[in-house]
Amino acid sequence: MACTTILIGKAASFDGSTIIARNEDSPGGQFEPKKMHVVSPEEQPRTYTATASHVTIELPDNPMRYMSVPDALPGHGIWAAAGINEANVAMTATETITSNERVLGADPLVELRPAHGREGEEDFEPEVPGGIGEEDMVTLVLPYIRSAREGVQRLGELLERYGTYEMNGIAFSDVDEIWWLETVGGHHWIARRVPDDAYVTMPNQLGIDSFDLADAEGAQKEHMASADLRSWMAKNHLDLTLSSGSVGFAAKASSTSPVADIFNPREAFGSHSDSDHVYNTPRAWYMQRCLNPSDRWDGPAAALSPESDNIPWCRVPERKLTIEDVKYVLSAHYQGTPYDPYGKLGTEATRGLYRPIGINRNGQLAVLQIRPDRPESCRGVQWMAFGSNVFNALVPFYTNVDEAPAYLENTTERVTSESFYWANRLIAALADARFRENSAHIERYAEKVGALGHQMLRETDAVIADLEAEAAPHLLKDANERMAKDLKRETEKLLSNVLFTTSLSMKNAFAMSDN
């Protein structure tokens, strides 16, 4: 799936939290309804079979409860997407990323091979299951990990054993660390710890641009990887680093190429295709343009352009970053540039040149915040938005609860404004038709809902600080329900305003009144 991710280290965030966030976008021509759902230990499967690849995996007997954002309609898998478990470990999976022919030839993706012929006949070939993918990863990993580092280790073991049928990036966070894992071919992977003082932008490309293989093979302080990564890279001539006296190299046989201790995975494993320059790199360019605005981003003297292949994987921001910053960049449509499809700058051609971040196919945005200055009982907060991010608002919910509010969980096939998901889809379709007239309604709504969310967190945190831990889930559930009630009220107001404004501009309007 096409998605956009941002990760913010604890020293770069406004309150010392670790923050990981991702837009989950449907493929072209699809709009996948989503819901918010708490998975209890009793609901978690003990034998898991993937819908897409048919792989069957036995799971441990001790799962933890966790929040999730699965597909709302049954039939093609869970796609749990994002959540925080009861140990306050967060996971978002996955960001679809790119690769190249050399990697996929050296370690092919593990794709489902359907049965061929008829059973019992001489030419019959039984089905061969594929590996794991985005459909599966949160369900297979999040209920069993107690740190971000453990998340990397568990997923890495699953990838090495079962393989994957797609290239993906996965984020894990706890109160201290954020780790980013990228799959490399069918069975290999790399993972890097996000620097505490930095943020990371990921726009559907393999992103890590510097990797310390010696650390991954040793202390694993900041890097982890498949155990055989160096030998596999050497055998298949994947490292493109030029030899230098200042860089360590190692190779075991004359038939292999030496591999630098520090190399660039984006060059070795990633892509720089023409389509990347339209679909992927412009998104990283714009996010970093927003978060490091003092750099020169425009004109012939710009250090980086929307089509640059060397946009950094991580950067130190110019100031501490907020939840609102996350929402803005993950809703962006190139505001203030010639590439804004709703803007007046540039030309008709430039306004449709690059793929926006806030796109019609946004299904959900989950911003996962682990707060260090709160008790463990209320440390995890999952901020949620449904539908196209240009037209929605981000709302916080505590994750140490047994169930999600009905307004966010009751997504069904039936289109109804009683569902938060469908209300947002209706608002977006109406507001998009008259963007300029409706944009003020959207901005006021987002500000009002965001303020209510911060107020709810502040007031609830103050009460829960004086309670025993076992009393917290009930109080947090009540707070979530109040938040959902306020959210429903404000969303219905917005729907009414947008409907009225767009109705005034219908093509069959006529100036002469019937009265």
Mean pLDDT calculated for residue range 166-173: 98
Q: Does 245 score more than 50 pLDDT?
A: no
pTM: 0.96
> Is the pLDDT reported for residue 335 higher than 80?
yes
**What's the CA angle centered on 234, arms 228 and 237, to 5 degrees?**
135
**pLDDT tens digits for 18-76?**
999 999 999 888 999 999 999 999 999 999 999 999 999 999 999 999 999 999 999 99
Catalytic, 290? Answer no
CB 145 within 8 A of CB 85: yes
CB atoms within 10 A of CB 184: 30
pLDDT in tens, 372-425: 999 999 999 999 999 999 999 999 999 999 999 999 999 999 999 999 999 999
The share of the chain scoring above pLDDT 90, in percent, equals: 91
Dist. CA 53–CA 447, nearest whole Å: 43
Which residue in the list 3, 290, 314, 378 is annotated as catalytic? 3
**Considering the chain, what percentage of its residues have pLDDT values greater than 70?**
97
Say yes or no to pLDDT of 168 above 70.
yes
Least confident segment among 139-153, 240-254, 434-448: 240-254
Q: Which residues contact 268 (CB under 8 A, 6 or more apart)?
A: 103, 233, 238, 239, 240
The neighbouring-strand residues paired with 56 are 49
Q: Identify the pLDDT of residue 250.
A: 56
Residue 254 pLDDT exceeds 60: no
Residue 189 β-bridge partners: 183
